[in-house]
A and B are shown apart, each in its own frame.
Chain A
Amino acid sequence: MRLIKKSSVAATPSETEKSKTPSATSHRRQFIKRAAGVVSLGATGTATQLAAEKLPESWQVPGGDFSNYGQPRTAIDSPIRWVSADRSLSGDGVSWTPLHALEGTITPNGLHFERHHNGVPVIDPARWQLTIHGAVKQPLVFDLNTLHRYPMTSRISFIECGGNSNSLWHPTPAQAPTGYVHGLVSCSEWTGVPLSVLMDEAGIDKNARWLIADGYDASGVAVSIPMDKILDDTLVALYQNGEPVRPENGFPARLLVPGWEGIVNVKWLRALRASDVPQMSRFDTVSYTDLQKDGSIERFSFEMGVKSVITSPTAGDTLSQHGYHQISGLAWTGSGQVSRVEVSTDGGNHWIEAVLQPPVLDKALTRFRLPWRWDGAPVTLRSRAYDSNGLAQPDRATLLENRGTNMYYHYNAVVVFSIAADGSVRHVYA
């Protein structure tokens, strides 16, 4: 096994490899032969000359109709979210983005991860209102039409649930593809009104250091968010990848708090109360807090750590071919931009810098890739990310040494996949 040098990234496969692998051209010839065979069977005695010309079958029948809203192709292997919900309370659970089945950095809206605490509320946009009250000079109400008249801005940003990857606090590694372990993170272009504009209009009292936000859902979720962050870069998001925010992502309006744990990105936004102190709601102090080794409990741990995961190959794959493969993955950080991602194929002894696909954006998913040749020997693949704030992704042993094993949120350790001689890929802690 050897790594391909960066300078040879664009090189074509070697001659020896070509001789082992059937070429794309010969695959296509086989396909066309089969297609032509079908056509000649269905057109006996009328157009047999077409078989000789090896035409694609689809050239000979009109295609499908238009659609008002395009749907993805559905097949047994189409990318889907996996859903895990409380058996006795179907609205309490999660669904994971299938990161391993997607490429690029933008999550399709129908595959954005979900974390609901008591289901998706039905909201009539004509009756929806956002209330700003508490420690402000003038409490205000905005209806949806009014909000749409405000100046908007767009940014590409990830949202990650604080509990993403949390099965890995357990002593046995989960054997599921990347997305179904780490897919409580998604990345979208969010468009909306900077919350600072609305807060300025209401007039924030000098001592109002917190904003208590809640939504229209039946979960009782309420969170306290520092006013500094609200005024810095928080959006009232109305659009997700160009279309109105999906119901399961907070229609008609949600908070986007870039880089901070999902729970504060309140969906189905209802009210914002300025306050000199945090509410100390259940979601401030009970859930989304982390028990430390010494028995103390960390709260208001908003910022998501620097993290990377390989999305291909992933657990459950089988590499059927030796030779050229592309390692592909995602990196992100809540504290700035990804500055570097390194990959090791030898147990962490040597690290090779992966190629970051531009644009590398602040608090957005960043795609990394590294071409690699597999010689068929057992091997482990791992990635680690660094960010513009000087933070480095820890390995698992270091994370556990620092944090203990009673944490529930904020797992960001290096992820390792092993590839056996038969090509089977497993998730390992080694």
Chain B
Amino acid sequence: MRNRLSSILAVLLLTGNVVADDAPGLGMPLSAQDQADLPAVIMADGSGLPDGEGNALLGEQVFQDKCMICHGPRGMGGSALELVGDRALLATAYPDKGIAVYWPYGPPLFDYIRRSMPPSVPYSLSNEEVYAVIAYLLELSDLLESGAYLDADRLSMIRMPNRDNFTEVYQPVK
């Protein structure tokens, strides 16, 4: 594909049209300020997580107000995906795909919940509320003690128990 494009551009050059470069070069440089204004990309290692913190007590309140209607009480039995499940059931006929087994990293929970939840008003929770609701869900998943709080550092340090159980089908070209 790249070779084919180069040859198209080479033809332009030969026919005498004014194409000084072999690339259009029309992109507008992004200023440092514009870069700083971009919504953060939150990575698996926690880079991009915002300041602030939230605890599981507030998280329970947020969950009951805004999440339970679809995800069910304590993250089970709702119309939306199950959030809390039995980790032992993964290799059975009826697996539970809760957060504890299906999320290999903690920080992407922040990214996804902030951007998409609740779906009727996405990107409406405060950073404190997002940290809090994650703390509550990880408490229900037996990954945090009762009443624990989360911030960027603490969320990044959580080792999700099923992390090493993922295999990658795609293998990069050498």
Contact = CB atoms under 8 A, between A and B. Distances in A.
B79 A194 contact: no
A299 B166 contact: yes
Contacts of A289: 102, 166
Contacts of B169: 298-303
A279 B116 contact: no
Contact of B23 (A117, A133, A201): A201
B108 to A, nearest CB: 5
B122 A118 contact: yes
Q: Interface centre among A89, A134, A233, by most B CB within 10 Å?
A: A89
Interface string A201-245: 110000001001000001110100010100111000000000000
B27 A302 contact: no
Specify which of B1, B25, B102, B173 lies most central, judged by the most chain A CB atoms within 10 Å of its CB: B1
Interface in A117-139: 117-118, 131-134, 138-139
B5 A132 contact: no
Given A89-B119, A209-B172, A297 B102 contact: yes
Contacts of A117: 116
Contacts of B104: 280, 285
Interface string B33-64: 01100100111100000000000000000000
A139 B37 CA distance: 13
B95 interface: yes
Contacts of B122: 118, 218-220
Interface in B47-105: 70, 79, 90-91, 93, 95, 97, 102-105
B44 A141 contact: no
A133 B30 contact: yes
B165 A295 contact: yes
B25 A201 contact: yes
Interface string B118-136: 0110110000000000000
Interface of A is mostly: mixed
A137 B49 CA distance: 24
B111 interface: yes
A129 B115 CA distance: 19
B15 to A, nearest CB: 14
Interface in B107-156: 108, 111-112, 114-116, 119-120, 122-123
Contacts of B102: 285-286, 289, 297
B29 interface: yes
Contacts of B170: 226, 300-303
Contacts, number: 166
B167 A201 contact: no
B115 A220 contact: yes
Contacts of B119: 89, 91-92, 118, 218
B70 A88 contact: yes
B27 A295 contact: no
A279 B41 contact: yes
Contact of A293 (B91, B112, B162): B91
B39 to A, nearest CB: 8
Which of under 10, 10 to 19, 20 to 34, or 35 or more describes the interface residues of B?
35 or more
Interface residues of A, number: 68
Contact of A294 (B28, B91, B162): B91
A200 interface: yes
A38 interface: no
Contact of A141 (B5, B28, B90): B28
A149 B90 CA distance: 51
A196 interface: yes
Nearest to B116: A220
A111 interface: no
Nearest to A405: B93
Interface string B4-19: 1100110000000000
A86 B25 CA distance: 44
Contacts of A156: none
A138 B29 contact: yes
Q: Which of B30, B42, B93, B120 has the most CB of A within 10 A?
A: B30
Interface of A: 86-89, 91-92, 117-118, 131-134, 138-143, 146, 149-151, 153, 194, 196-198, 200-202, 209, 212, 218-220, 222, 226, 228, 231-233, 271, 273, 275, 277-282, 284-286, 289, 291, 293-303, 405-406
8 contacts: A138-B29, A146-B27, A218-B116, A277-B44, A278-B44, A293-B91, A299-B169, A303-B169
Given A222-B41, A226-B172, 19 more contacts: A118-B122, A140-B28, A140-B30, A141-B27, A142-B27, A149-B24, A151-B9, A153-B4, A194-B1, A194-B5, A201-B25, A218-B119, A220-B114, A279-B111, A280-B108, A281-B108, A294-B91, A296-B166, A298-B169
> Which 9 residue pairs of A and B lie closest in terms of their CB atoms, listed nearest first?
A220-B115, A220-B116, A140-B27, A295-B91, A280-B44, A139-B30, A301-B169, A300-B170, A282-B112
